[in-house]
Structure 1
């Protein structure tokens, strides 16, 4: 049962430290992804699909960050 499951907080990947978190939306489908934004290459690293606002909160909780 998943009621008493202990939440684990992952550390931010070493190559992503100091990067901003950005939500990007696809121009074709409107699908949203969240991840660490690399300004030099203009790409998102460690992207995750966003279906609801709770997915955004879950991303921040996963890495132990404040929104």
Structure 2
């Protein structure tokens, strides 16, 4: 069952090490995404949808990072 599933921490992807984590909002829909921000290309890598603050916390926990 999924209730008692152990949480696994994924390693930060190799190409994302040293990048900052950024939340971006769409100008059209206001939809927010979080991911690793590449300053050179100005894009978010490994984006995930953010609906609430718990989604942001889940992103940090997923990669074993501290806010």
**Coarse TM-score class (shorter-chain normalised):** over 0.9
Count of residues paired in the alignment: 67
Match of 1:57 in 2: 57
Gaps of 5+ in 1: none
Tell me what 2:31 maps to: 31
Structure 2, gaps ≥5 residues long: none
**C-alpha distance in 1, partners of 2:4/2:33?**
29
TM-score calculated relative to the size of structure 1: 0.97
What is the RMSD computed on CA atoms of the aligned residues? 0.6
**Secondary structure, in 3 states, of the residue corresponding to 1:61?**
helix
Displacement of 1:4: 1.2
TM-score (norm. length: structure 2): 0.97
Structure 1 segments (4+ residues) deviating >2 Å: none
